[in-house]
Amino acid sequence: MSNHPKNNTDIKEIYKKLDAELASINPGCNACGTCCHFNEFGHVLYASTVETDYIRENVEIPSFDPDDNVCPFLVNYECSIRDHRALGCRVFFCNPQYKETLQGIYEKYYTMIKDLAIEDKVEWYYAPMMKLLEKKQQKNQL
């Protein structure tokens, strides 16, 4: 089993479809960075190895404490990896009016990403994103 999809094109296409679907419902975003402070919403951001590998392949991972439960990519109240952010980041909006709709959208695209992993014979883990990124950092330092 490989550690990542054959290339980034498939995950980019999934994210492109997702972004178009989100634009069509327009749940709104204040670009305040509040959503990146997971504790404020009682959340833990989960991601798959496909997503974290895509991030690692495209951006530098800063040093961070995964127990802080604040995204290490939040810089000056903005996402510093917006084009490469995970599914959970893409579908989370502060407006509670869209919660059920966005949950359905999340499930749909989660399935697409998992199917991509199966198709490309990628090792699949779904866990807290900060823990997955931390494990990858530790492996790279060995």
Sequence ranges of the domains in the chain: 9-141
Token pair for residue 3? 């550690």
Which pTM was predicted? 0.86
The mean pLDDT of 8-34, rounded to a whole number, is: 89
User: What are the helix and strand counts (H, E) for the chain?
Assistant: 5, 4
Tell me if 135 sits within 8 A of 3, measured CB to CB: no
Q: Confidence band (pLDDT; 50, 70, 90) for 137?
A: low
pLDDT tens-place string over residues 37-78: 877 778 889 999 999 999 999 999 999 888 887 889 989 888
Q: What is the pLDDT of residues 107-122, one digit of tens each?
A: 999 999 999 999 988 8
